[in-house]
Structures are given as structure tokens and as C-alpha cells.
Structure 1
């Protein structure tokens, strides 16, 4: 399968930590909203359909819905789908678009679904280690985080005006 080249093409500098964290914050807000919508549809849609309103209220008051593995799985899958779609399509989440950043391979092509999965899983691990995987870019000579290294991709800063297409 031929690689999907991203536009604009060029040799762009690696993105700095301040822009990356600003984009992460934007995307965090979007992810909170996404998880809220998934939870609403799951609990008020699917569970209400299965159990009915009265039984769902009983389960909720008894705390039976507090640690629902199905809801956690749906939320995680939805978050991965969000990032994978943006990263593999145009290399940018909405937060990255706002800050002029893009994820790409060294040759300027979009990352694959496998690379997106690696980035997603390793980024979760980075947060679980108190953000060390993200802060790694401060010590890495190429400015890479753990998920950049493991997915063999990089986050670049696009020139001004080129990301508003």
C-alpha cells in the first residue's frame, strides 16, 4: 500500500515542548468531552435499553455502575479512534492544528494505524510514569518523546500559515 504523503511537504523542525503541551491541553479538553458523550450514550442509551429506567436507577444507587469495565473499554477505544483517525489522516489532532504541529514519518508521510496504536499505548505509559515519557524530549538530542521513539515518528512544527488549509 503506498504511503499517504502529508501536505505541505518539507523539512520541518521538531516541535518544542511548550507547543506540544499546549496542543495536549487542547486535545485533553476534547477527550474529556468525548468520554462524557460515550458515557452518556452507554449509560443512558444502552444500559437503559437493557435494564430499563427503574433497574438502572437501582444499580446506580447501589454503586454497581461505578467500576464498569465495559464503559472503561468503550472510552479507551473511543479515545484511540479519535487519535488514530486524526494522526493517520492528516497527521494533526484539533489541538495540533491550532498550534501548527503535525505527526509524521521521517519521509513526510502519514503514520500507519500500527504506529498510531504504538503512540497511543506508549503515551498512556508516559503519563503513568508521571509524564517522564513526555519530558524525555528535553534530554533526547532529537527532541523525541517515548512515543515518538517507539512509533518511529516525529512531531514537527509547520511554518506559519501552512496549517490553516
Structure 2
């Protein structure tokens, strides 16, 4: 006589086995944690490429407009002139700042994530766990620029060269995240100054950027 086939486990038994299996429980029990500085820096590098492209487009458009409005155009390269200092300080610099604020503010308000942050499952929220307002976004950006600005001023006072200024400002940016290593909660400088926080989201709770946009729109 042929041997009887083994009985299939019931759905209830399979569910019970899944619930008690430690490797399956690990994903469901995972919770958001404060993002590590290395992950945050990598996400910034991702976003940096897009930001540089946006700033280049804005700068090119403003340069063309400024040249047409404030300068006499020649026909030879030797007749080329630089834009007036007042135009660079009053028009171009604020436009670059507004571009930066608009980039981060739009993404933080809609889904809490930029494109680079989405890649690494990072999400920025306020201390209550809600998405940032425009005011909170602006405050966080200013807080993130504080140390690069201070380091840049120190660098300009020491050497005065453009290269030293940029290097000093970059060191100030890195300082924001080195600060995480000395803060007992792992917060960056801009987190503390703006009362916001960047979290590393678990896979089960991770929400895609465009889905976050749609959900934000539904809740409004």
C-alpha cells in the first residue's frame, strides 16, 4: 500500500509559526530611529547634485537678465564685464537662498523627504512627529547654515582667499554632523536649533516620496 501523504499545516498553524519566528518578527517590530550622521551626509551628497543643477539654472537666467538690464553688451570677448556688485548681492544671492529654501521646504512639507533622503529612508519631522511647516523648514535651513557661515567668516579673517573661505564653510557643514557623535541623542546641530529631527524609517513604515505627496494632499 502506498504511504499516506503528510498533512499540510493549517493556516492557523502557519500563522502561529510566523508570529513566533524571530526573523519574521524583526521587520514588524522595527521602529524609526534617529538617523546616523554618515547616512545623512550621503543623502546630502545625492541632493547636492540636484541642488547644484538648480542653482546653475537660476544663476544663468539671472546673469542673462542682469546683463541685459545693467550692462552694455559689446561684440568682442575683451569687452566682457562682470555684473555690478549690488546686483550680485541684492538679486542673485537672495535668489540662491530662496531656491534652497524652496527645494527643501517643498519636499519637507509634502512628504518629509527629498529625493536623496528617500533613497536612504530618511524623513525629517518636527518634535511632535508631524511634517514641517514653511516656518519650521526655513528655521531648519538657517540653523544648518549657521556653522558653515561662522566657519567661513573665520576662514576669511585668517586667509581671505576664496579657496580658504569655501573650505572653512565646508568644514562648518561637516561640524553639524560630527556634533551627532557628542550629543547623547545623536542629534545634529540643526536638529537642536530648529526643534526638528531626521529619522531612519523602517521598510514596513517607509512611504515613497510621491505617495507621501498624495497622502499629504488628501489630508489637507
Q: For the superposition of Structure 1 and Structure 2, which TM-score range results when normalised by the shorter chain? A: 0.7 to 0.9
Q: Which runs of 5+ in 1 are unaligned?
A: 1-9
2:50 counterpart of 1:30: yes
Whether the 8 Å CA contact 1:122–1:150 is kept in 2: the answer is yes
CA distance in 1: counterparts of 2:178 and 2:75, whole angstroms: 43
Question: 1:94, CA displacement in angstroms?
Answer: 1.1
Q: What is the alpha-carbon distance in structure 1 between the residues aligned to residue 96 and residue 127 of structure 2?
A: 31
Deviation at 1:156, TM superposition (A): 0.3
Q: Which residue of 2 aligns with 1:47?
A: 66
* Count of matched residue positions in the alignment of Structure 1 and Structure 2: 155
Q: Which has the higher contact order (CA 8 A, sep 6+)?
A: 1
Q: Which has the higher helix share?
A: 2
1:159 to 202, 212, 215: 202
Q: Distance in 2 between matches of 1:35 and 1:124?
A: 17
TM-score normalised by length of structure 2:
0.62
The answer (yes or no) to whether the contact 2:31–2:201 under 8 Å persists in 1 is: no
The 4+ residue runs of structure 1 with deviation greater than 4 A are 55-58
CA distance in 2, matches of 1:53, 1:32: 29
Q: Structure 2: which 5+ runs fail to align?
A: 1-29, 152-171, 212-220
Counterparts in 2 of 1:61 and 1:146: CA distance versus 1, 3 Å: same
RMSD: 2.8
- Of residues 88, 92, 100, the one that matches 2:109 is 88
Deviation at 1:13? Answer: 0.6
Q: How does 1:3-14 map to 2 (within 5 A)?
A: 11-14=31-34
Distance between the aligned counterparts of 1:55 and 1:43, measured in 2? 15
